[in-house]
């Protein structure tokens, strides 16, 4: 089975009690949903729990970065396959054991479903 063709996009919405991201593509709507519960909206609670509020805001930023990475995955996969193909057109014997070539092949194998 193949992955859903790109490009993929991340759509963000604010819903009651949560922030939601939906990963979407032109060929398949709603491939993934990521929900992050909102922090307690009580202002008194927030003032008394500044560390928790800060941690939640940092978590929300990190989740958003992860969502953007996920949305770019299809494009990155296609670009890396293109790099591997173009490299294969030349004589690779002198670089086949380079760590970056080995890593490139490992990453593409992982994306293609290999362990």
The DSSP code sequence of 87-107 is HHTS--TTTTTSHHHHHHHHH
The full set of domain ranges for the chain reads: 8-111
Q: What's the CA gap between 28 and 8, in Å, rounded?
A: 9
- Taking only the tens place, the pLDDT of each residue in 43-59 is 888 888 899 888 888 88
pLDDT tens digits along 71-86: 898 889 889 988 888 8
pLDDT of residue 17: 82
Q: pTM here?
A: 0.71
């Amino acid at each position: 089975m193949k992955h859903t063709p790109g490009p993929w996009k991340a759509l963000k919405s604010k819903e009651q009690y949560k922030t939601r991201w939906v990963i979407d593509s032109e060929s398949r709507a709603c491939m993934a949903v990521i929900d992050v519960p909102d922090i307690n909206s009580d202002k008194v609670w927030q003032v008394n729990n500044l560390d928790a509020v800060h941690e939640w805001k940092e978590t929300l930023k990190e989740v958003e970065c992860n969502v953007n990475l996920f949305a770019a995955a299809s494009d990155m996969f296609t670009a890396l396959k293109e790099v591997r193909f173009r490299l294969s057109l030349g004589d690779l014997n002198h670089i086949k054991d380079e760590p970056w070539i080995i890593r490139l092949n490992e990453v593409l194998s992982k994306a293609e479903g290999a362990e």
